[in-house]
Each structure stands twice: as C-alpha cells, then as structure tokens.
Amino acid sequence: MHTFCNLLARRFLRRSLALSGLLLAAAAPAAAHADIYRYEQPDGTVVFTTKPQAGQAPTTVYSNPHGGARTGAQPRRSSAASGAESRAPGRYDAYIREAAARFQMPVAFIKAVIQIESGFNPNAVSPVGAQGLMQLMPGTATEMQCADAFDPRENIIAGTKLLRLLSNRYNGDINLVLAAYNAGPGNVAKVDGIPFEQTRVYVENVYAAYQRFLAAERQP
C-alpha cells in the first residue's frame, strides 16, 4: 500500500511540475544513489561532486543530512527577533531570489521549503537540532559553509545549495529531493523512495505550498 502511494505521488508531482514548466531538472544529472563528495582545492575552493577524484581524499557528504525524519521546528526562545515581522514570507525575498539565481532553483520552491520547515521563523529549532529558516542540522550547515544557521541569508543560501545538490543527485525528482532533505539520502536509498509516512506528508505539504507560491507569482 505504501509503495503504491509513493509511486502514485511521484507520478502526480512529476506531471504537475512538468505542466508548470518548472521541473527541477539537474544541471549535471548524477547517479540516483551516488554519494556526494566534498573536495578542497589547493587554492581553497570547495568542490562538490558525485565522482571521486583520483589522488584526493574526499569528505563524503549527506549520507543523512538531517539525522532522520524531523518532527517540526520550534522557536528558539532566547532570540530577540522572534516577532511576526521576522516570520513574514516577503521579508526574505531578496535572499531567496539571490539563492534561486545562484543555484538555478525556483523561487516558489525555496519559499515552500521554508514555509513548511520553519514557517519563516529564522530562529526556529527542531527537536533534533535543525536550525533556522531551512532547518539545517549543524553538520550540514558546516558542510554548506554556513557559519551562522540563524542568519537568514546564510541559511537560505546553504539550504538552497543543498536542494541543488539533491536535485542533481536525484535527476530532478522532486519527491526524492524533498524526501532526502527531510529524512536523509540514506533512508531514501533503503526503500528507493519516500521512507516514512511523516516524510510523505512533508513532501505533499511542501508541494502544496509550492503551488500556492507559484500561483501568487502569476498574479498581476
């Protein structure tokens, strides 16, 4: 039953995204379950790739970036910027557009992830320790070169970079991209699909939010 629902959801979402003209096609498609490696070049440049480089010692990235499926963000009580203004969806548009242009991801899609992850609360912390607007685990934030996960711009840039890497890894399959973002690629690989009921609901919620933000973009 779960397998049927997963397949049905995957087909529906792929068809809907194709109709919208915003299928998350990868810039350089990678093998569906390839590891992602991080290399630091002699000049200090950091390179992410799915192909091991001969003669270089890599760091394997994102076997499980969130440490398992998450249960929802909570506000960090000590923050001074936790009012309604900080959670306004339009407040971070400039950062979202910057990240979207840099990593070739739809603005509406990034907004949808932020909406479901944190409700646009830059100070949110999940029960498992994911932080900020796009709910980055500390290790993931470090790998994405995000020094402060509670800084809205840094968080959005890092979270969008992760979405791009996952989109490359899963050939733009939005179901697998979101499932891996929520539950980790390791769990996605175990079932070759959406691993948990909670993750399935997460995928559906992000997609619904994506459609709403997309419709808002089209309004005159």
Measure the CA–CA gap between 183 and 123, rounded to whole angstroms: 21
Distance CA 65, CA 137 (A): 7
Q: Helices (H) and strands (E) in the chain — how many of each?
A: 8, 5
Q: How confident is the model over 201-217, as pLDDT tens digits? A: 999 999 999 999 999 99
More reliable by pLDDT, 38 or 1: 38
High-pLDDT (> 90) share of the chain, % = 55
pTM of the complete model: 0.69
Long-range CB pairs of 194-201, under 8 A, 24+ apart, other chains included: 194/6, 194/9, 194/10, 195/69, 196/69, 197/2, 198/69, 198/71, 199/69, 200/5, 200/6, 200/9
Q: How far apart are CA 69 and CA 86, in angstroms?
A: 26
Q: What is the pLDDT of residue 118?
A: 94
To 5 degrees, how large is the angle CA 99–CA 103–CA 105? 85
pLDDT greater at residue 109 or residue 83: 109
In 10 A of CB 78, how many CB atoms? 8
Q: What is the mean pLDDT of the chain?
A: 75
| High-pLDDT (> 70) share of the chain, % | 60
Residue 148: per-residue pLDDT: 97
Mean pLDDT of 106-128: 94
Q: For residue 220, is pLDDT > 80?
A: no
Q: Give the DSSP H or E segment for 98.
A: helix 93-103
Can you give the pLDDT at residue 7? 43
List the catalytic residues: 117
Compute the radius of gyration of the chain from its Cα atoms: 17
Overall CATH class of domain 2-27+66-218: mainly alpha
